[in-house]
Structure 1
Amino acid sequence: MLFSIRLRFVYMLGLGAYTFVNVLLMEALPFYGLPVANGYVLGLFLLSAILIWEGNRLIDKFLPKLLRFTGPGIHPLLLTFLLSLPLTLVVVGGPALLLGHYELYLPPQKLQLGMKLMLGVGFRINLFLNTINAAFYFLRELRQSQVEAEQFKKISLQAQFQSLKDQVNPHFLFNNLNVLSALLYQDVNQAAEFLQQLSKVYRYVLQNQEKELVEVGAELEFMESYAYLLRARFRESLRINISVPDALRCRYTVPIALQMLLENALKHNISSRNRPLLIEVFASPDQRQLVVRNTRQPKPPVAASTNLGLENIRRRYGFVSTQPVEVEQSDSSFTVRLPLLHLTP
Structure 2
Amino acid sequence: MKKTPFKAIIQALLASLVITIYFVVVAKLDHNDVPWISIIFHPNMVRGLLYGFFLFLGHSYLSKWVGSKYPSSKDFGKKMIVFYSVSFFLTILVVFIVNAFFFGLFNPGITQNFQQRFHQFIHQQRVAYYFQTAMISWCISMIFFGFYFYKRFKDYQIKESHQEKQQITAQFESLKNQLDPHFLFNSLNVLNGLIEESPKKASMFTTDLSKIYRYVLEQKDKSLVSLQDELTFSRAYLNLLSLRFEAGIQIDLQINAEQHTGFILPLSLQLLIENAIKHNIISVRKPLLLKIYRKNNYLYVENNLQKKKVLHDHSGIGLKNIQERYAILSNLSVHLQETDILFSVGLPIINEIVS
How well do the aligned residues superpose, as a CA RMSD in angstroms? 4.8
What one-letter code is carried by the residue in structure 1 that aligns with 2:156?
E
Counterparts of 2:162 and 2:185 in 1: how far apart (Å)? 40
How far apart in 2 are the matches of 1:337 and 1:158?
A: 21
In structure 2, what is the equivalent of residue 133 of structure 1?
148
SS in 2 for 1:182: helix
Task: Identify which of 232, 237, 258 aligns with 1:247.
Answer: 258
Matched letter for residue 229 of structure 1: L
Cross-structure match for 1:35: 30
Query: Structure 1 residues 295, 85: closer, same or farther in 2, change over 3 A?
Result: farther
String of CA shifts for 1:53-95, please: whole Å, max 9, x gaps.
xx77xx68xx79xx9xxxxxxx9x96x979x979x99xxx9xx
Counterpart residue type for residue 141 of structure 1? Y
- Distance of 1:123 and 1:316 partners within structure 2: 45
Is residue 161 from structure 1 mapped to residue 156 from structure 2 by the alignment?
no
Using the TM superposition, give the Cα deviation of residue 230 of structure 1 relative to its aligned residue in structure 2, in angstroms. 1.3
Which residue of 336, 340, 351 maps to 1:342?
351
% identical aligned pairs: 28
- Structure 1 CA distance for aligned equivalents of residues 217 and 286 of structure 2: 35
| Offset at residue 36 of structure 1 (A) | 3.2
Residue matched to 2:72: none
- CA distance, structure 1, for counterparts of residue 213 and residue 314 of structure 2: 27
Gap change, CA 1:306 and 1:172, over 3 Å in 2: closer
The answer to whether 1:315 aligns with 2:324 is: yes
The Cα of 1:280 is off from its aligned counterpart by 1.0
Q: Which amino acid aligns with 2:214?
A: R
Question: For 1:272-287, what aligned pairs fall within 5 Å after superposition?
Answer: 272-284=283-295, 286=296
Question: When the two structures are aligned, how many residues end up with a matched partner?
Answer: 285
Change (3 A) 1:131 1:151: same
SS state at 2:166 partner = helix
* CA distance in structure 2 between the aligned counterparts of 1:276 and 1:321, rounded to whole angstroms: 35
Q: What's the secondary structure of 1:192's corresponding residue?
A: helix
1:320 maps to a residue whose letter is: L
User: Per-residue displacement from partner, 1:143-193 (whole Å, max 9, x unpaired)?
Assistant: 3122212211211221122115x2xx2x33332122111111111111111
Alignment equivalent of 1:210, drawn from 221, 226, 232: 221
Per-residue deviation, residues 100-142 of structure 1 (Å, max 9, x unmatched)? xxxxxxxxxxxxxxxx899779734531212332232233223
Gaps of 5+ in 1: 4-11, 68-74, 94-115
SS of the residue 2:31 aligns to: coil
Q: Structure 2: which amino acid aligns with 1:35?
A: D
Q: Which consecutive residues of structure 2, in runs of 5 or more, have no partner in the other structure? A: 4-14, 69-78, 100-128
TM, length-normalised to structure 2:
0.64
1:275 aligns to what SS in structure 2? coil
